[in-house]
Amino acid sequence: MAQGKSAPTYAIRTLGCQMNVHDSERMAGLLEEAGYERAPGDPDDADVIVVNTCAVRENAATRLYGNLGLLATAKAQHPGMQIAVGGCLAQKDRGEILRRAPWVDVVFGTYNIGSLPALLERARHNQEAQVEIEEALVTFPSALPARRDSVASAWVSISVGCNNTCTFCIVPSLRGPERDRRPGDVLAEVRALVESGAIEVTLLGQNVNTYGVAFGDKLAFPSLLRACGGIEGLERVRFTSPHPAAFTLDVVSAMAETSNVMPSLHMPLQSGSDRILKSMRRSYRAERFLGILDRVRGVIPDAAITTDVIVGFPGETEEDFQDTLRVIERGRFVSAFTFQYSPRPGTPAALLDDQVPREVVQERFERLLELQEAISLEENRALVGRTLHLLVLDDAGRKDAESDRMSGRAPDNRLVHFAVREPRPRPGDIVTVEITYGAPHHLLADSPAETYHVRRTHAGDAWEGSGKSVGRFSPRSGEA
- Report pLDDT digits (tens) over 166-186: 999 887 777 888 999 999 999
- Report pLDDT digits (tens) over 314-370: 999 999 999 999 999 999 999 999 999 988 878 899 889 899 999 999 999 999 999
Q: With contact defined as beta carbons under 8 Å apart, do 237 and 262 qualify? A: yes
Q: Is the pLDDT of residue 480 over 60?
A: no
Alpha-carbon dihedral sign for residues 289, 292, 296, 299? positive
- Report pLDDT digits (tens) over 238-255: 999 999 999 999 999 999
CA 310 to chain centre: 18
Q: What Cα–Cα distance (Å) separates residue 48 from each residue in 14, 98, 126?
A: 14, 17, 16
Q: What is the pLDDT of residue 271?
A: 98
Residue positions counted in the chain: 480
Task: pLDDT band for 478, please (50, 70, 90 cuts).
Answer: very low
- HSE-up of 244 (CA within 13 Å, CB side)? 27
Q: What is the pLDDT of residue 93?
A: 85
Q: What Cα–Cα distance (Å) separates residue 96 from each residue in 16, 121, 477?
A: 20, 22, 37
Angle between helices 286-299 and 249-257 in degrees, nearest 10: 20
Residues paired with 53 in a beta bridge: 87
Q: What is the pLDDT of residue 479?
A: 42
Task: pLDDT band for 117, please (50, 70, 90 cuts).
Answer: very high
CATH for 141-379, options being 2.40.50.100, 3.40.190.10, 1.10.150.120, 3.80.30.20: 3.80.30.20
Q: What is the pLDDT of residue 410?
A: 98
CA 276 to chain centre: 26
Q: What's the average model confidence in pLDDT over 404-414?
A: 96
Distance between first and last Cα of the chain: 32
Topology (CATH) of 387-465:
OB fold (Dihydrolipoamide Acetyltransferase, E2P) (2.40.50)
- Report pLDDT digits (tens) over 144-170: 888 888 999 999 999 988 999 999 988
Nearest-angstrom CA–CA distance, 210 and 201: 19
Q: With contact defined as beta carbons under 8 Å apart, do 375 and 335 qualify? A: no
DSSP 8-state symbol, 270: B
Topology (CATH) of 9-138:
Rossmann fold (3.40.50)
Residues paired with 121 in a beta bridge: none
Residues paired with 388 in a beta bridge: 433
Q: Is the pLDDT of residue 398 over 80?
A: no
SS3 172: helix
Q: With contact defined as beta carbons under 8 Å apart, do 255 and 209 qualify? A: no
Task: Produce one character per residue of 322-361: b if its CB has 16 or more CB atoms within 10 Å, e if not.
Answer: ebbbebbeebebbbbeebbbbebeebbbeeeeebbeeeeb
Task: pLDDT band for 275, please (50, 70, 90 cuts).
Answer: very high
Q: Is the pLDDT of residue 215 over 80?
A: yes
Nearest-angstrom CA–CA distance, 269 and 290: 9
Nearest-angstrom CA–CA distance, 28 and 407: 25
Instruction: Specify the domain boundaries for CATH 2.40.50 within the chain.
Output: 387-465
- Report pLDDT digits (tens) over 95-111: 899 999 999 999 998 88
Q: To the nearest whole percent, how much of the chain has pLDDT over 90?
A: 72
Task: pLDDT band for 27, please (50, 70, 90 cuts).
Answer: very high
Q: What's the average model confidence in pLDDT over 262-267?
A: 97
Q: What is the pLDDT of residue 385?
A: 96
Short-list 213, 272, 267, CA closest to 241? 267
Q: What's the average model confidence in pLDDT over 40-62?
A: 84
- Beta strand 9-14 with 48-53: parallel, antiparallel or unpaired? parallel
Q: What is the pLDDT of residue 276?
A: 98
Instruction: Specify the domain boundaries for CATH 3.40.50.12160 within the chain.
Output: 9-138
What is the edge-to-edge ordering of all strands in the sheet holding 236-240? 153-157, 200-204, 236-240
Q: What is the pLDDT of residue 136?
A: 78
Q: With contact defined as beta carbons under 8 Å apart, do 52 and 86 qualify? A: yes
Q: What is the pLDDT of residue 234?
A: 98
Q: What is the pLDDT of residue 29?
A: 95
When the pLDDT of each residue in the chain is averaged and rounded to a whole number, the result is 91
- HSE-up of 199 (CA within 13 Å, CB side)? 23
Q: What is the pLDDT of residue 2?
A: 44
Instruction: Specify the domain boundaries for CATH 3.80.30.20 within the chain.
Output: 141-379
